[in-house]
Amino acid sequence: MKVKGVKFGLYLSTPTPALNAYIVDAQRVDQMGFDSLWAADHLLTVPSGGKVPDVWTMFTAIAGVTSHVRLGSFVSDAFRRHPAIFAQQLATLDCLSNGRVTLGMGAGEMMNLEQFGIRWEKPVSRFVEAVEIMRKLWSGEVFDYEGQFWQLKDAVLQIQPLQESIPIYFGANGSRTKELTGRIGDGWLPCCMSPELYKKHLKDVKEGARKAGRSIDEIDRVLYVYTAISEDHESALKQLEPYKASIVLWPKILDGAGYVAECPAIAEADFYSKILMNEEGERKFEEYGKFVPMEVVEDFSIAGTVDDCIEQIEDYIEAGVTHFAFVPVGPEPMRVLLRYSRDIIPYFKNR
């Protein structure tokens, strides 16, 4: 896979008050010229309220009413599905969608596991093994596999994806997983960052690629980012204030940017991975958001006038981003996407 040109996508936020909204939004985004749709693969999420659907069932419905956008999870884990079952499920959707599936894989979060009796052990080693198994199954070969977590004998799928192999992007924020992305990943899915921080973290991905004899141009570099457009910068930035905790999910990323959220509700830098979706967990999440400064929200998002957003996108492209996954906010998020469709995407696609 060679990365060609900048791509623009929409992240479908959960929870949602109505599943039909996803279908309607997907159709409109497909027609607007966006390249991708992304959604969380969660059982539970913060904040509570609304519906949290199964992402792949939802994408199956969306595949039937769209023709262009790629469909990707942001991100799935290797705990809740056997890799053979998951490989079959994704190969089926890839055929139904005419080859538009992207799999995002990560270490997982406790909110999707512990509350359901699933033990969160050796998450990185486990998802690497799952990736190896799924890629072999998608190749159509018959094989044996003797791993730490799974053992397969004469394994083969009787359905293969329409694509040669479904691309797998890694949700990676730690040094180990970023280097792993460079070695074996098709794409990188980090959380929100400033352009400066993105460039810094990308060095680990580049190092992994170098060790594997790969070019960084073989890896699609995504940025999950909140965005707001208004007639002035301050009005747009104000729309982002309620989302502070979601914009800066990881205190360790915040610390790496030179900011410190001295929040008494959290004791660990990776608390989001370990937060449980209960009353105490939601309280911690809300309290943490109060300690995130607006300066870092501004640094970690794309907000302002159309010209402001173009300039900020240019900064991210210069830092190494090749693919944006937008979370549009404001009184009318779809109006934000319309501005992207009419003014921003053509600017970058036509130059």
Cross-strand pairs, 7 = 323
Instruction: Confirm if 178 and 150 have CB atoms less than 8 A apart.
Output: no
Residues ≥6 apart with Cβ < 8 Å to 256 = 197, 200, 201
What is residue 50's predicted lDDT score, i.e. its pLDDT? Answer: 86
Residue 142 has pLDDT above 80, yes or no: yes
Q: CA–CA separation, 279 vs 295, rounded Å?
A: 29
The 10s digit of each residue's pLDDT in 154-190 is 999 999 999 999 999 999 988 999 999 999 999 999 9
* Architecture of the 7-244+300-349 domain: Alpha-Beta Barrel (3.20)
Residues ≥6 apart with Cβ < 8 Å to 191 = 173, 224, 249, 250, 253
Torsion of CA 16, 292, 193, 128, to 10 degrees: -70
Q: Which range, of 37-41, 164-168, 328-332, 339-343, averages the lowest pLDDT?
A: 328-332
Record the pTM: 0.93
The 10s digit of each residue's pLDDT in 238-295 is 999 999 888 887 777 766 777 766 666 665 656 677 777 788 888 888 887 888 889 9
Q: CA–CA separation, 72 vs 223, rounded Å?
A: 13
Joined tokens for residue 56: 């792949």
